[in-house]
Amino acid sequence: MKSNVGGIDKILRIVVGVALIALAAMGQIGVWGYIGVVPLLTGLFNFCPVYPLLGINTCGLRKDA
């Protein structure tokens, strides 16, 4: 797994993930709010499995070796 999430993308994923999980835990939104685990984990691990399929890389570092 090469890193393909970086910078603002990473921060937004973590913030949105935590917000969705918090809202679901407080009962403000339904159980579907726990889908926030997905953006949270992709932000923490710097890898989005959909990005390679779409040819996207927001990580500034390229390691071609």
Q: What mean pLDDT do residues 38-56 have?
A: 95
The number of distinct structural domains making up the chain is 1
Residue 36 lies in a domain: no
Longest dimension (CA), the chain: 48
Per-position DSSP letters for 4-37, written without gaps between them: ---THHHHHHHHHHHHHHHHHHTTSS-GGGGGGH
Q: Does residue 65 have a pLDDT over 50?
A: no
Residue 8 in any domain: the answer is yes
> Residue 24: which domain range?
1-29
**pLDDT over threshold 90, residue 63:** no
- pLDDT for 6-46, tens place per residue? 999 999 999 999 999 999 999 999 999 999 999 999 999 99
Q: Structure tokens of 8?
A: 């603002």
Q: Please say whether the beta carbons of 43 and 18 come within 8 A.
A: no
Report how far residue 4's alpha carbon sits from residue 57's, in angstroms, rounded to the nearest whole number: 5
